[in-house]
Homo-oligomer: A and B are copies of this chain.
């Protein structure tokens, strides 16, 4: 499974029972937490997401609505006697904050909290099956987006064909990698012996950002793009002055980047309902959805 579950979709001021930003990405049996606004651990309880299964946490930037739930989550999993390493990725000052908070509380975590400072576009996680990269976005303070990509999946053996050609199992790894094979001087093409696997999918989380076309290159053709939409287009001035985007701009970016689907969130507390956000984006990029809390969006 590859999907994103929304825990919070609101901008800074919690309102209308919407919570500050947080998402859980499920990918290849791993759970990744992206941003951790106040109340995230309660939202995880509410939506039955096991806190103990999170091994990697990514914090986009140090505005409170993206990380004020982090100290609570880190200490809670400690109280739950976590032993396994926990990897935390964020701007370097985040470590200073966590260290201070633990220190004044005389709190010693029972697990190893491995902090990784975000400094430039780089590969953060490089697993056999997927990778996670960060990329800078355009906000009032240092801010990072995250790109989750499945790696190219091996081709699948076609057992009927390999039996017909009596291919020894020793060759199967080569076949999965797409290579042709030569048996008794005779070449058998890979396409005859294998079938393609599912295509590799990708998800981009572009955090809090001004509309900036250059981002389209980075998130080009991802299967799902999360882009903030703090305001409607009639508040473009406000969006720009606060380094945020409108719903229309989120859709423009999705269109320019030729992504498959768009998810919008980080709605301003001035809006009680969200229908207009959806309508505004869909007018430009029809395959848009609202990042509603508690919903899981599959990346397919």
The residues of A with any CB-CB pair to B shorter than 8 Å are: 12-15, 17, 19-20, 38-39, 41-42, 45, 62-65, 68-69, 71-72, 75-76, 79-80, 91, 93-94, 96-97, 100-101, 104-107, 140-141
**A14 in contact with B38 (CB, 8 Å):** no
B residues near A62, Cβ cutoff 8 Å: 104-105
Tell me how many chains of this kind the complex includes.
2
Provide the bound-state CA to CA distance between A42 and B72, in Å.
15
A-B contact list, 9 entries, CB within 8 Å: A13-B76, A13-B80, A14-B41, A19-B42, A39-B39, A65-B72, A68-B72, A93-B100, A100-B100
Provide the bound-state CA to CA distance between A80 and B105, in Å.
30
Provide the bound-state CA to CA distance between A116 and B14, in Å.
27
Nearest residue in B to A63 (C-beta to C-beta)?
B105
B residues near A41, Cβ cutoff 8 Å: 14, 38
A12-B75, A13-B76 known; A64+B101 contact, CB < 8 A:
yes
Between A17, A41, A100, A105, the greatest number of chain B beta carbons within 10 A of the residue's beta carbon is seen for A105
B residues near A97, Cβ cutoff 8 Å: 97, 100-101, 104
B residues near A15, Cβ cutoff 8 Å: 45
Task: Determine how close the nearest CB of chain B comes to the CB of A129; give it in whole angstroms.
Answer: 33
Task: Please name the 9 residue pairs, one residue from A and one from B, whose CB atoms are nearest each other, closest first.
Answer: A93-B104, A38-B72, A62-B104, A68-B72, A39-B39, A13-B79, A63-B105, A64-B75, A62-B105
B residues near A101, Cβ cutoff 8 Å: 64, 97
**B106 in contact with A76 (CB, 8 Å):** no
B residues near A45, Cβ cutoff 8 Å: 14-15, 17
Nearest residue in B to A80 (C-beta to C-beta)?
B13
**A12 in contact with B68 (CB, 8 Å):** no
B residues near A79, Cβ cutoff 8 Å: 12-13
Task: Determine how close the nearest CB of chain B comes to the CB of A38; give it in whole angstroms.
Answer: 4
